[in-house]
């Protein structure tokens, strides 16, 4: 079982921000901004390469709800998903990083 599947099953604890039947948002253990939350589907999907349009369609309003819950929707935030080794992906379960809470530096 992958690291994030163990978080979903409760074998590894997490600081949950928002959860529903299909998705989980929790605090990153090594935050790169004042607010750093990871958003994942509960079904195991290795990366964005394996993502389906159906799950993405359901995940979109969940991510927006996470931003609302965190109180960052109007001030803004950044969403990142790393894909594969060149993309810097370390955990093989798709996740979106939501970074917020401060003015973020430009990366592109």
Please list the active-site residues: 95
Q: Answer yes or no whether residue 30 interacts with ligand AMP by CB under 6 A.
A: yes
**Site for ligand AMP (CB under 6 A): which residue of 1, 2, 12, 79?**
12
Q: Which DSSP string corresponds to 33-69? A: SSEEEEEEESS---SGGG--HHHHHHHHHHHHHHHHH
Give the total of residues touching ligand AMP (CB under 6 A): 12
**Site for ligand AMP (CB under 6 A): which residue of 58, 91, 101, 104?**
91
SS3 23: strand
* Token reading at 88: 């810097």
Interface ranges with ligand AMP (CB under 6 A): 3, 12, 14, 28-30, 38, 82, 88-91
């Amino acid at each position: 079982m992958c690291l994030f599947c163990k978080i979903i099953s409760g074998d590894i604890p997490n600081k949950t921000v928002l959860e529903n039947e299909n998705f989980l948002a929790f605090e990153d253990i090594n935050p790169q901004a004042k607010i750093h939350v990871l958003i994942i589907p509960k079904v195991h999907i290795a990366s964005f390469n394996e993502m389906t349009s159906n799950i993405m369609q359901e995940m979109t309003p969940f991510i927006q709800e996470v931003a609302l819950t965190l109180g960052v929707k109007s001030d803004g935030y950044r969403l990142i998903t790393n894909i594969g080794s060149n993309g810097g992906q370390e955990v093989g379960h798709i996740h979106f990083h939501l970074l917020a809470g401060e003015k973020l530096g430009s990366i592109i």
